[in-house]
Structure 1
Amino acid sequence: MDIVRERELNVPIFQKQNLTIEEAAVYSNIGQHKLRELTADERCPFVLWVGNKRLIKRRQFDEYMSRAYSI
Structure 2
Amino acid sequence: MGNSETVERFKSRSSEVPLWHRQNLSVQETCAYTGLGRETIYSLIKQKDCNFALRVGRRTMIKRVRFEDYLENLYSI
User: What is the rounded CA distance, in whole Å, between the counterparts of 1:40 and 1:47 in structure 2?
Assistant: 9
Q: Which amino acid aligns with 1:61?
A: F
User: What is the rounded CA distance, in whole Å, between the counterparts of 2:13 and 2:39 in structure 1?
Assistant: 30
Q: Tell me the TM-score normalised to structure 1 length.
A: 0.80
**Structure 2: where are the runs of 5+ without partners?**
1-11
Given the alignment of the two structures, is residue 63 of structure 1 paired with residue 69 of structure 2, yes or no? yes
Q: Structure 1 residue runs of 4+, over 2 Å off?
A: 6-10, 40-43
Match of 1:38 in 2: 44
Identity of aligned residues (%): 35
**Structure 1: where are the runs of 5+ without partners?**
1-5
Q: Tell me the TM-score normalised to structure 2 length.
A: 0.75
Number of residues of Structure 1 aligned to a counterpart in Structure 2: 66
User: What is the rounded CA distance, in whole Å, between the counterparts of 2:57 and 2:13 in structure 1?
Assistant: 27
CA RMSD of aligned residues (A): 2.0
- Paired residue for 1:20, among 20, 23, 26? 26
User: Which of 9-18 and 34-43 deviates more?
Assistant: 34-43
Higher relative contact order (CA 8 A, sep 6+): 1
